Chain A
Amino acid sequence: MILSHPQTTLEPRAKRRSALKSALKVMKYGFFDLLRSRWIIIYTLFFLAVTSGLLYFGGDANQAVLSTLNLVLLVVPLISLVLGLSYYYYTRDFVELILTQPIGRSSVFLGHFSGLALPLVAAFLLGSGLPFLLAGVRQGADWRVIASLMVAGTLVSLIFSALAFWIGLLNEERVKALGIALGVWLGMTMIYDGLLLLFSILMQAYPIERSLIILSLFNPIDLSRILVLLQLDTAALMGYTGAVFQRYFGSNLGILASLGSLLIWTGLPVYLGLRSFKRKNF
């Protein structure tokens, strides 16, 4: 059944305001629903435990940042995808119900998506940010390193929950969607880097630093890693290659480009999800 929206006679501005209002309302439901779910609590506690443990036992704040970076690169995308998908299927009935109401589809989708993404981001920021704020700063961690880690984690959460929604929308079957999600996760965390490695080895005779920089823009996980790396491992990034990377990613233009690319990475799946949501025949 395709729902036809009742024609409203509101002014465009008021229309927009009411759309935002509805989106916020939908988000509120999702948000509190998810906050009550034990998975998000376990996710928060997991980060809280791991980060505090790393800070407590590691003794070195920068070392803890490094280990947390590994979590951000591996665990955050995976959890965002899996949790996103299960949330999507779990709330399908609710969404179908909402769609019978006189609310635009964009509002429903955006509200629904933020209802998932914001708790995920909040869980990450709370779980890993709090220990760093409490202990990391005292242990002499560089605030820039921590800030870049938080930005990277936030964006990765957003990107992969948006991807989860999009994958869910395209697939009626849960198992198939989960398979695709795992494929995306593996591809972005491992296989893409493997191809980069292969590329660098095959093309070793050529100055491929610039091409590598461009290629890294196509993978949000690589991008967020490099963002943190530039704050942290500067000492190892010396030499010609390191200098090229640093000059690019360290410059304002480079930072803007990487951040911009990450934002596009966030926006694109949201847009694609929205498009399929609008067209989808529930």
Chain B
Amino acid sequence: MKRLVGILLVLGTALLGTTWVYGQSTLEVCPTCSLTSLKTAIAQANPHDKILVNGGSYTEGTILVDKPLTLEGLNQPILDGEGKVEILTITASDVTVRGFTFQNAGISHTADQAALKTLEVENCLIENNTFLNNFFAIYLGKTKHCQVLHNTVKAHATSESFSGNAVHLWDCSEIVVKDNYLSGQRDGVYLEFVKDSLIENNISEANLRYGLHFMYSNNNIFRNNRFRANGAGVAVMYSKNIEMTQNHFEDNWGSAIYGLLLKEINDSRLYNNVFHDNSVGIYVDGANRTDISFNDFSHNGYALRILSSSMGVTIAHNNFYGNSFDVTTNANRSYNAFLENYWEAYQGYDLNHDGFGDVPYRPVRLFALTVENYPQTMILMRSPLEQFMDYAERILPIFTPKAIEDDRPLMRRVLW
């Protein structure tokens, strides 16, 4: 509830910020206008004026926006950093940037140079911009009440040290990042010390490192995003009260690459997500009191790897099908609950037709446990021996952890 109020506050104030237009006048900048420089226009403008940039390409070094203004681009004017400098730095609150193409913000190893950077501001709106080939694209530092909507970020980064993040949030709160396309940067969305924010409807794909990466960021919502084919999948760490719903994690391939890595994530909820075609669907390394429910795990190498450092994780009403291994763990004990999931590999029966299998299901197979302890035995995968081992273990379970057991496995897929 508190979070919802927070989000409403964000939306409300941001709306207020953009519509507050008393005594506004408009300055026009274009290659043939009297004003041909964005810098001059900003210098001449009064607070809350609107600067309309109509076409053209502007290479003016770093442009500083130090008063509340609306910068609007018509016909996609280009702001170029020539591979040297930061392009737009916003140090005033109530700034709107809309309709520009930012390109070639310079790479720097000493400063986080971005195409668009806000520092210690409130109420900004960044929408409908295109970011091409920048070091960092959108960088919000110590910013509050800001919206990043409908932007397209594309780059062709080849090395992590020569590339920044598409959307980089540092020490922010109440930010909305929505409907953006983020690709080819280091991380798609990066959050550090960010709270009460909403990341929604974004597509983050083919980034060098993570599609989404956050640390020390509590009380955030990630909804309906698509994370595809990123260098190392998605990693979320050291945060609590996170809500991840309706996201798609797809095509994240390779060793040490995960659909989703949960590292020290507490009191969080993951609902209605789809994990498809990843080498590991979710790698849970130390999650506590977290609810993983109504998700789809399909065609992953490992659907769920849950390490013994996790406690109180509830895995309920999920669908597991077409995975090479459904669940693996590294210990004999488990303090997590598996409830009423659909397991394609379940071979029990349902005599009373209540929709739940009458025999408990143990998703950790003996062979999976063997592979976990002796990785070389992977060469025996899908062999008759593997089936024999699993069958023997089903009849006489002695090796597989008793705690990881679904007492009421579903007979049919969960529809959600």
Measured CB to CB, the residues of A under 8 A from B are 60, 62-63, 66, 69-70, 73-74, 189-190, 193-194, 196-197, 200-201, 204, 208-209, 212-213, 216, 221-222, 225-226, 228-229, 232-243, 245
Contacts and interface: CB of A to CB of B under 8 A. Distances in A.
Interface string B31-67: 0000000000000000000000000000000000000
17 contacts: A60-B322, A66-B382, A190-B385, A200-B379, A208-B376, A216-B379, A233-B382, A235-B301, A236-B301, A236-B325, A238-B257, A238-B279, A239-B255, A241-B378, A242-B375, A243-B255, A245-B378
Given A197-B385, A235-B253, A241-B379, 4 more contacts: A194-B385, A204-B374, A235-B278, A236-B378
B271 interface: no
B301 A233 contact: yes
Interface string B301-344: 11000000000000000000110110000000000000000001
A190 to B, nearest CB: 6
Contacts of B373: 204
Contacts of A204: 373-374, 376
Interface in B376-416: 376-385, 387-388
Contacts of B325: 236
A229 B381 contact: yes
Given A238-B301, A239-B375, A197 B384 contact: no
Contacts of A189: 384-385
Contacts, number: 103
A196 B376 CA distance: 10
**Complex A-B, nearest 6 residue pairs according to Cβ-Cβ distance, in ascending order:** A235-B301, A236-B324, A236-B301, A193-B385, A241-B375, A238-B279
A245 B384 CA distance: 19
B322 A196 contact: no
A235 B384 contact: no
Interface in B344-366: 344
Interface string B175-209: 00000000000000000000000000000000000
Contacts of A233: 301, 324, 381-382
Given A197-B370, A240-B255, A241-B375, A235 B277 contact: yes
Interface residues of B, number: 34
Nearest to A219: B383
B308 to A, nearest CB: 19
Interface of B: 253-257, 277-280, 299-302, 321-322, 324-325, 344, 370, 373-385, 387-388
Contacts of B253: 234-235, 238
Main secondary structure of the interface of A (DSSP, over half): helix
B379 A196 contact: yes
B324 A235 contact: yes
Given A236-B324, A242-B255, A200 B377 contact: yes
A66 B386 CA distance: 13
Nearest to A239: B255
Nearest to B252: A235
A70 B299 CA distance: 19
Contacts of A232: 382
Given A237-B301, A238-B255, A200 B383 contact: no
Contacts of A190: 384-385, 388
Given A208-B376, A235-B300, A241-B376, A193 B255 contact: no
A212 B374 CA distance: 13
A189 B322 CA distance: 24
B383 A193 contact: yes
B279 A235 contact: yes
A201 B383 CA distance: 17
A208 B279 CA distance: 23
B380 A193 contact: yes
Contacts of B278: 235
B379 A212 contact: yes
A60 B321 contact: yes
A235 B373 CA distance: 18
B382 A74 contact: no
Contacts of A235: 253, 277-279, 299-302, 324
Contact of A193 (B324, B375, B384): B384
Contact of A200 (B256, B301, B376): B376
Contacts of B280: 238
Given A235-B301, A242-B378, A74 B384 contact: yes
A229 B382 contact: yes
A197 B255 contact: no
Contacts of B301: 233-238
A212 B376 CA distance: 8
A200 B322 contact: no
Contacts of B321: 60
Given A236-B301, A238-B255, A209 B376 contact: yes
| Residue with the greatest number of chain A CB neighbours at <10 A, chosen from B302, B344, B377 | B377
